[in-house]
Chain A
Amino acid sequence: MPILLIMAWRNLWRHGRRSLLTALAMALGMAMSMSIISMYDGMFGIMRTLMIDQLLGHVQITHSAFPTRRGLYDTLHHADELLSRLDALPQSRGAVARVHGQALLGTEHRSAGVRLVGVEPSRELAVTKVQDTVPSSLPGGVDPGRFLADEPAREIVIGYDLARDLRVALGDELVAITQDAYGGIGNEVYTIVGLTRSGDEAMDRAGAWLHFSDLQALLALDDQVHEVRILAASDAQDVVGGLLDALPGALPDGLIQDDDATAAISPWWDIDPMAAQMMEMRGIAQFMVLVVVFGLVALGVINTMLMSVLERTRELGVIKALGLRPRGIVWLVLYEALLLSLLAAGIGTLLGAGLIAYLMTIGIPMDVGEGEGIGFGGIVFPSRLYGGISVEAFVEPILGVVLSALLAALLPALRAARLHPVDAIRAE
């Protein structure tokens, strides 16, 4: 073991209580940032599931005009063949086809303009798990029902908030009126079988799910769909990127039967830049938290290390006189800070792991009424938020505590290195 490291370790224990207290402050900072990252893991986990699995998919294949125009006629043909080809791609976890429409949906007394989404329930269950948007319970003991049956049966699942606005419940019938593909008025009666509370405000307040055959019938679309979305095997940029590269070769002939259009292949961050920005914001927010917490911790470390250096002025002068280069003195102080931070990292990891366990099992109540949590960027979070766990939640605070300690020790270390041996030895 290098002698400087041995000296640093023993120096640390010359004032054991001071070292332990400083380590405690550092550990508290670590525990705090671990808890915050854990909460971010929980919240952004919800956002990720909602946005990628349920709302956007990783990649969407559409008629080139559909992303901007969302036109009824901007359709894909032969979706079945496309889906079976997509299932075979190694980067894909699965794909689903969807039909989109708009309708005036209502009862005799009330109606609302609503987005209709047509899905194939059996495929969705295997890929997007959109079925999960029907919760197991609703406030006030309202029965949420179930998602659509696998076979088309003129069933409809609507948002919980929409159901409240329309004053309807499970088993009620709703009339949908819309413009069909021939410019005529299409209308049909559906039975409500389920209520969703996905957290996506747009769908919960003004959205409804139908079997895609039912919606195709309403819109007179035959077997065309508007969108095929694929979930990649993982969120990793390179996997999604690989999927994007593989897709053009997987498109069947006759997918687009529109002479002045092509197929558009859009990753989720292009479809909803705002969602991408929100996911990115996490990184910024997390970084800010680490900077603030460890900035404060660093002030404590500077304090301790400065005291430690000042009270050893003479000793450092002797070491310098004996021939240790200034750089060696810097290392001696940095080693001490490093060991201190490792000690703190140990305590902090234990403390933080305890807090994470608490956040994961008990969580934080965030009820703003009606069983809803806070809303942010069009997403309504559950009324109780739970922490998540990730490698990041441990690695980043540990790096934070070590780096901030080293950075904080640099000032005292340089000060020590600049000591003039003659003055230092003379110092009292």
Chain B
Amino acid sequence: MWLFTLALRNLFRHRSRTLLTGLAIAASFALVALHMHFEYGSWNQRIRGSVEAVSGHLVVQHPDRADDPQVEYVVSRSAEVSGALQRTFPEARVLRRAQVGGLLASPRNTSPLFVSGIEPDREAQVTRIDDLFQDADAARAALDSAPEPTREALQREAERGLGSWLEPQDLRGIVIGAPVARTLEVELGDRVVLMAQVGDELQSIPLVVRGIYSTGIDRADAVVAYTTLQAVQPLLVDPKTGEPVPDPAHQVAVHFEHERGLDALAARAAQAVDRSDLSTLTWRQAMPTLLRQMEVDRSFGIILHVFIGLIVVVVIFTTLLMSALERTREIGLLMALGMRPKHIRAMFWAEAALLGLGGTVAGFVLHLPFYAFLAYVGIDLGDMIAGSSDIAGVVFDPVMRAEFDPDALFYYGPFTFLLTLLASIGPAYKASRLTPVDAMRHT
């Protein structure tokens, strides 16, 4: 204990140097932690968006569909599957979806896109696409009485959704993106035709435009439209026989409030579904590419963090070495009084440990307000991030918000601390190798 008391006093004696070195440790920890939280937040956001729109926490689908999203990989008798899952998980939201690629045609033009056949009321509970219409209605209502400065924002909000989201029983309705509406030159209530190939036949499904949405990301909005599952079911036939499949869908997705114990839930779901022609996957299994992207991204981040660590090590090393050389006399005195080299080393390490611990803790405290800003206010990246249409139809929130990455605390925290100790090895040995006489003579 006396070791730490001595170390603490030494640190206090050189207050400005201790403060600066501590600040270097704190700043490096805070910067890396903030970077980690931000990356964590943006990945979680991306994952949540994909879980909402693409897979669900659990998804029941044809075994081959995860790798190869072919139109023929269907879930037959999907309502039965959905019912079984809903009975097993009464709290969860279970929804069916199908996605077909085709050409949407108006008398004026055509547009290639993917049409999602969904269950409108259930979809509305999970994804946010329907919110655009409600928000737009609210914005329109507020627009007349709104003061001038807020009008522009409201106007933009109002343009996010024209018309309404689909009604559950609306077998002929379609909701399209604003770019599609411009290309086809159609308005609310206009007729369009969805052309798609079924077997070797060209099928045309007549639909009516109920809603026109704009997430603000034209690239994504140009390729995704929504209609009811029933409307696209005629397009899902057995490709070999050309025969219709009973009540088909591409997936039955299950959403929970949280994803704890997902593997066990998946096992229960598989049991409940009890169909050998279907597989039950967690979102991790259903979206392997997304996870791999995340891993690659994170490993690139780690290289940066190590580099930053290296810079800090050199800074700390310099400071501690100077401190060792400056205190030559004092060390000589301590040795003359009977302190052994290993005690001197221990004293230096105790100083480094206190410095590392103090710096890391200070960094943690220091980064909290910035973290709070990034978490609650976020950075508005506009439409930069969302263009990644590897998952078409995911509605991204353009405001990136940080989320607390526990790794920052449990992995980078100790790492920073260890770096400080690492940097103190050399200077401690240097100090302990002085002989008392040399040291005392030195002025």
Do A and B come into direct contact in the complex, CB within 8 Å? yes
Interface residues of A (CB under 8 A from B): 15, 17-18, 21-22, 24-25, 28-29, 32, 36, 68-72, 102-104, 106, 108-115, 164-165, 167, 177-179, 183, 201-202, 206, 274, 277-278, 281, 292-293, 295-297, 299-300, 302-304, 306-307, 310-311, 364, 366-369, 372-378, 380
Contact among A21, A25, A113, A303 with B103 in the assembled complex (CB-CB below 8 Å): A113
Q: Is B145 an interface residue (CB 8 A)?
A: no
Question: What B residues does A32 contact at CB under 8 A?
Answer: 304, 307-308, 311
Query: A376 to B388, Cβ gap below 8 A?
Result: yes
Nearest residue (CB) in A for B101 is A112
A157 to B142 CA separation, bound complex (whole angstroms): 51
Q: Is B302 an interface residue (CB 8 A)?
A: no
- What 0/1 readout, one digit per residue, does chain B (109-141) give for beta carbons within 8 Å of chain A? 111111000000000000000000000000000
Query: A104 to B289, Cβ gap below 8 A?
Result: no
Nearest residue (CB) in A for B239 is A109
Query: B318 to A108, Cβ gap below 8 A?
Result: no
Contact among A70, A113, A304, A378 with B102 in the assembled complex (CB-CB below 8 Å): A113
Q: Is B185 an interface residue (CB 8 A)?
A: yes
Known A306-B17, A366-B296; judge A104-B314 contact (CB<8 A).
no
Known: A32-B304, A274-B384, A278-B384. 6 other contacts (CB 8 A): A28-B307, A110-B239, A177-B202, A202-B389, A274-B218, A374-B293
Known A103-B112, A113-B103, A369-B288; judge A377-B24 contact (CB<8 A).
no
Contact among A22, A70, A113, A278 with B101 in the assembled complex (CB-CB below 8 Å): A113
Contact among B69, B108, B308, B384 with A293 in the assembled complex (CB-CB below 8 Å): B308
Question: What B residues does A307 contact at CB under 8 A?
Answer: 17, 322
Contact among B17, B239, B384 with A277 in the assembled complex (CB-CB below 8 Å): B384
A310 to B15 CA separation, bound complex (whole angstroms): 12
Nearest residue (CB) in A for B317 is A21
Min distance, Cβ B42 to any Cβ of chain A, angstroms? 11
25 pairs from A and B in contact (CB 8 Å cutoff): A25-B314, A25-B315, A69-B109, A71-B185, A72-B108, A102-B112, A103-B112, A108-B199, A111-B197, A112-B102, A178-B103, A178-B110, A278-B384, A295-B27, A296-B312, A299-B20, A299-B23, A299-B315, A310-B16, A311-B326, A366-B300, A368-B292, A375-B293, A377-B384, A378-B387
Contact among B70, B182, B321 with A21 in the assembled complex (CB-CB below 8 Å): B321
Question: What A residues does B197 contact at CB under 8 A?
Answer: 104, 106, 110-111
Question: What A residues does B296 contact at CB under 8 A?
Answer: 366-368, 373-374
Q: Is B420 an interface residue (CB 8 A)?
A: no
Q: Is B408 an interface residue (CB 8 A)?
A: no
- What 0/1 readout, one digit per residue, does chain B (84-102) give for beta carbons within 8 Å of chain A? 0000000000000000011
A293 to B321 CA separation, bound complex (whole angstroms): 23
Query: B68 to A109, Cβ gap below 8 A?
Result: no
Question: What B residues does A300 contact at CB under 8 A?
Answer: 24, 311, 314-315, 318
Query: A293 to B199, Cβ gap below 8 A?
Result: no
Interface residues of B (CB under 8 A from A): 16-17, 20-21, 23-24, 27-28, 31, 68-72, 101-105, 107-114, 182-183, 185, 195-197, 199-200, 202, 217-219, 223, 239, 288-289, 292-293, 295-297, 300, 304, 307-308, 310-312, 314-315, 317-319, 321-322, 326, 382-385, 387-390
A281 to B101 CA separation, bound complex (whole angstroms): 33
Query: A25 to B101, Cβ gap below 8 A?
Result: no
Question: What A residues does B21 contact at CB under 8 A?
Answer: 303
Question: What A residues does B292 contact at CB under 8 A?
Answer: 368-369
Query: A110 to B318, Cβ gap below 8 A?
Result: no
A22 to B108 CA separation, bound complex (whole angstroms): 69
Query: B219 to A274, Cβ gap below 8 A?
Result: yes
Contact among A17, A25, A112 with B112 in the assembled complex (CB-CB below 8 Å): A112
Known A109-B199, A303-B315, A306-B17; judge A71-B102 contact (CB<8 A).
no
Query: B196 to A102, Cβ gap below 8 A?
Result: no
Question: What B residues does A366 contact at CB under 8 A?
Answer: 296, 300
Min distance, Cβ B329 to any Cβ of chain A, angstroms? 13
Min distance, Cβ B98 to any Cβ of chain A, angstroms? 15
Known A21-B317, A277-B382; judge A28-B103 contact (CB<8 A).
no
Nearest residue (CB) in A for B28 is A296
A390 to B126 CA separation, bound complex (whole angstroms): 47
Nearest residue (CB) in A for B21 is A303
A108 to B311 CA separation, bound complex (whole angstroms): 62
Question: What B residues does A296 contact at CB under 8 A?
Answer: 24, 27-28, 31, 308, 311-312, 315
Known A104-B196, A201-B389; judge A72-B109 contact (CB<8 A).
yes
Query: B300 to A303, Cβ gap below 8 A?
Result: no
Query: B112 to A113, Cβ gap below 8 A?
Result: yes
A202 to B113 CA separation, bound complex (whole angstroms): 11
Contact among B16, B105, B310, B321 with A306 in the assembled complex (CB-CB below 8 Å): B16
Nearest residue (CB) in A for B197 is A111
Min distance, Cβ B49 to any Cβ of chain A, angstroms? 14
Question: What B residues does A367 contact at CB under 8 A?
Answer: 296
Question: What B residues does A304 contact at CB under 8 A?
Answer: 318
A15 to B114 CA separation, bound complex (whole angstroms): 69
Question: What B residues does A278 contact at CB under 8 A?
Answer: 384
Question: What B residues does A18 contact at CB under 8 A?
Answer: 318, 321-322
Contact among B24, B105, B288 with A299 in the assembled complex (CB-CB below 8 Å): B24
A413 to B383 CA separation, bound complex (whole angstroms): 46
Query: A110 to B24, Cβ gap below 8 A?
Result: no
Nearest residue (CB) in A for B303 is A364
Question: What A residues does B110 contact at CB under 8 A?
Answer: 72, 102-103, 178-179
Nearest residue (CB) in B for A415 is B16
Contact among A109, A112, A201 with B388 in the assembled complex (CB-CB below 8 Å): A201
Question: What A residues does B196 contact at CB under 8 A?
Answer: 104, 111, 113
Query: B312 to A303, Cβ gap below 8 A?
Result: no
A202 to B197 CA separation, bound complex (whole angstroms): 21
Contact among B69, B202, B219 with A165 in the assembled complex (CB-CB below 8 Å): B69
A304 to B69 CA separation, bound complex (whole angstroms): 60
Question: What B residues does A28 contact at CB under 8 A?
Answer: 307, 310-311, 314
Min distance, Cβ A409 to any Cβ of chain B, angstroms? 13
Query: B71 to A110, Cβ gap below 8 A?
Result: yes
Known A108-B199, A110-B70, A201-B388; judge A25-B311 contact (CB<8 A).
yes
Question: What A residues does B218 contact at CB under 8 A?
Answer: 274
Question: What A residues does B385 contact at CB under 8 A?
Answer: 377
Question: What B residues does A302 contact at CB under 8 A?
Answer: 20
A302 to B24 CA separation, bound complex (whole angstroms): 10
A299 to B319 CA separation, bound complex (whole angstroms): 11
